[in-house]
Copies of this chain bind each other. A is one copy, B any other.
Amino acid sequence: MQTVNLERLLKPRSVAVVGASSDIARIGGRLYHNLIRHGYRGDIYLVNPKRREIGGVACYASVSAIPHMVDVILVAVPADAVASVLEEAGKNNIKHAVVYSSGFSEVGGEGGVKQERLAALAEEFEIAVCGPNCVGIINFQDRIAMSFSQFLQTPRLVPGQIAFISQSGALGGSLLNRAQDKKIGFSYFISTGNEAVLESSDFMGYFIDDPDTKVIMALIEGIKNAEQFLKVSDVALERNKPIIVMKVGKTEAGGKAASSHTGSMTGSDEVYDAVFKQKGIVRVDDFDELYLTASAFVKTQLPKGNRVGILTSTGGGGVILTDKLVEAGMVVPDPSQETTQNLREVVPSFVSVQNPFDLTAQLINDPLLFRRCIEVFAKDDNFDAVIVATSMVAKELSEKRASFTIEGAQLVDKPVFAWWAAGSLSAPGMEMLEGSPVPFFTSAAHCVNALQAVVQYAQFDKTLGDTEMQAVSISPANRRRINKILGSSRNDLTEDQGKEILSCYGIPVTRERLGKDLQEVKEIARDIGYPVALKIVSPEITHKTEAGALRLDIENAEQLSVAYEEIMRNVNQYNPEAQIRGVLVQEMVQPGREVIVGVSQDPQFGPMIMFGLGGVFVETLRDFSLRRAPLREKDAWEMIRETRGYRVLEGVRGDKPSDMAALVQALRTISQLAVDLKDDVSEIDVNPLVLYVEGQGAKIVDCLFIKK
């Protein structure tokens, strides 16, 4: 799924180093050195008007002076000189560039102007530019090191099937160093820098089609083109290419001003988190977990479920794994009776056959017995995956142990992960596992988290057919009503206007009508039937309780008159200037479970839906979930189940369960509305939506629409 053709950028037949230098401490010197050192087999041209040659290689005075075809220019000149280099390249029909130079938008001020100029030139001449302010690109498969990262001082590049995109050049190089220490290979490394032209999702799009890449991994602070990222995510799911992301920058200084719940609760990191969940993106929160999890995905097949068997040579290690697995929502079931019986026949009588299965010294030191134990235990249908835990085994013995584990894993048709608790004394064995097809970890936490990621990815429902909701059909008349409401009001919509829109979408709202005077109000109340509620309708009065502009449980006409007069008096005191559209007469609804549904428009990802329970849940406990609209049925279910308060809806202490089907329908319909009206409405609070017991539906009691 290529958004730009990057083939030649990533696999250039020839490159030109612009700003070449003989000084290896300078970027222009380091680039040439690294290309040679790691065995680039294409042509390299050096450009430096001040030098005739560098290390015996001729220097060209300019890009135009190169008498050959150049696939990629590697630009290491000062920021001020970058534009003229790009222009010259463009005129010479060079279509790809990596710009390493800093001094662009990252320094603010003038830098931003320079970056805009760079982007404009790239567009004019159709040059695919990586950078500026990046450490460059490494193609591990073909050993093309177009980067000045200090990582390239590594003795050799370990190729593999992970494509790594990093917005941070320094952290990217550090991570590569660590991962390659553990024999974890890569197909490509891309430092995207300021992403003036090419951005992370362009590269993701390329890697989805790249047969050398099995897993895409990214270290990012944000996504520039949300729409493209979403498309790429969908295709990645289709092609079964997992995307593992560490997104940093969770805590934003200062909240944004927002007039609804949803607005105030949905910071940018929460939106990313919601989108990642919805798109099957695997999110990790730890630097080491990023490459370890990616490597696990490269090595493992996907498990059928979340039930894990543990084979351990340390009782304590088995307990540690069990703790972490259960905390991560996985299951550590007993082995089947058959397995227990089969193992009983091979192991000494004092060995207790259970899960975790603690292999005693005797079993461990008998290769045949050990292998038999792994085989019988791991094959048990009660387990979807197996972890083999090892503690201190020194030197040669560690190699023996590692080979048993690797051989054992090959005997079973399910994921087998390995955790080894020891240090340098077990290095020989641990190194064997690092280079083996078994996902291997020195940290129990990383092992369990990676397995959990794999389990969740395997369980993620990849059916995309359901993505677009069966469009709610709005009749032309209703469409006109909605447009009229949105067009007429100058401020935020009044409650009745919001409800009218919601009911055009077929969502049940309270029976109600607007009365202009006491006479009309009385007639409406009679039609609706007592008891009723009275509420002022005025664009200037959004907080009705505070203004004393709300009366509930009015039983008869007499009480109605009193309430009406009181409200009018209060409103006049509260804001004599308020423009009164009338008084809303509303049925008093039967009590039920109150939930809140919100809509906000994220500047990047567009309409987002928030869901939570009323009462203390959303406001005090901040217990809510978030998804991008429109919602598939499974999205709606997931966001409901994600809240801690969900159990209340299922019915606690003998309460009947709430009408979940009605809730799912309401969430999906509001999400459709959020998409349809995204250009007109910035926020919606539906609060409360009253949910009745199963089969009895739901009803919107109050709502607030804020126009754009």
A residues at B contact (CB < 8 Å): 103, 107, 149-151, 153-154, 167-168, 170-171, 173-175, 177-181, 219, 221, 248-251, 285-288, 313-317, 319-320, 322-323, 326-327, 350, 391-395, 397, 421-426, 443-445, 615-617, 619-621, 644-645, 647-648, 652-653
Q: How far is the CB of A309 from chain B (nearest CB, A)?
A: 15
- Given the interface pairs A391-B171, A648-B616, A648-B620, the reply to whether A422 lies near B178 with Cβ below 8 Å is yes
CB neighbours (8 Å) of A174 from chain B are 314, 391-392, 421-423, 426
Q: Which residue of B lies closest to A622 (CB)?
A: B644
* Complex contact A153–B421 (CB within 8 A): no
- Point out the residues of chain B lying under 8 angstroms from A151, CB to CB: 392, 394, 425
In the assembled complex, the CB of A110 is this many whole angstroms from the nearest CB of chain B, namely: 10
Q: Is the CB of A423 within 8 A of B645?
A: no
Can you pick out 7 interface pairs between chain A and chain B where the beta carbons lie within 8 Å of each other? A150-B393, A150-B397, A171-B317, A178-B422, A251-B323, A287-B320, A288-B443
Docked CA distance A396–B250 (Å): 35
Q: Which one of B179, B248, B393, B617 lies within 8 Å of A320 (CB-CB)?
A: B248
Contacts of A621 in B (CB 8 A): 621, 644-645
Given A392-B170, A619-B652, A652-B619, CB of A424 within 8 Å of CB of B248: no
Closest B residue by C-beta to A349: B107
Query: Are A319 and B221 neighbours in the complex by a CB distance under 8 Å?
Result: yes
CA distance A16 to B168 in the complex (A): 60
- Judge whether A645 and B619 touch: CB under 8 Å: no
Check B323 against A248 for contact (C-beta < 8 Å): yes
Q: A422-B177, A425-B153 are in contact. Are A327 and B250 (CB under 8 A)?
A: yes
Q: How far is the CA of A221 from the CA of B316 in the complex (A)?
A: 8
A650 to chain B, nearest CB (A): 10
Identical chains in the assembly: 2
Chain B residues positioned under 8 Å from A171 (CB to CB): 314, 316-317, 320, 391, 421
Closest to A397 in B: B150
* CB-CB nearest 9 A-B residue pairs: A168-B316, A178-B423, A177-B423, A170-B314, A174-B421, A174-B422, A170-B391, A173-B392, A174-B392
Query: Which of chain B's residues have a CB closer than 8 A to the CB of A149?
Result: 392
**Residue of A316, A322, A395 ringed by the most chain B CB atoms within 10 A:** A316
Q: Chain B contacts of A395 at CB under 8 A?
A: 153
Q: Which residues of the partner chain B approach A320 to less than 8 Å between Cβ atoms? A: 171, 248, 287
**Residue on B nearest A317 in the bound complex, by CB:** B171
* CB-CB nearest in chain B for A250: B323
**Extra A-B contacts (13), CB below 8 Å, given A170-B316, A177-B423, A286-B444:** A149-B392, A151-B394, A153-B394, A154-B425, A168-B316, A170-B392, A174-B421, A178-B423, A181-B424, A248-B320, A287-B444, A619-B653, A620-B652
Residue of B nearest to A352 (CB): B108
Known interface pairs A421-B287, A620-B647, A620-B648. Does A313 touch B150 (Cβ–Cβ under 8 Å)? no
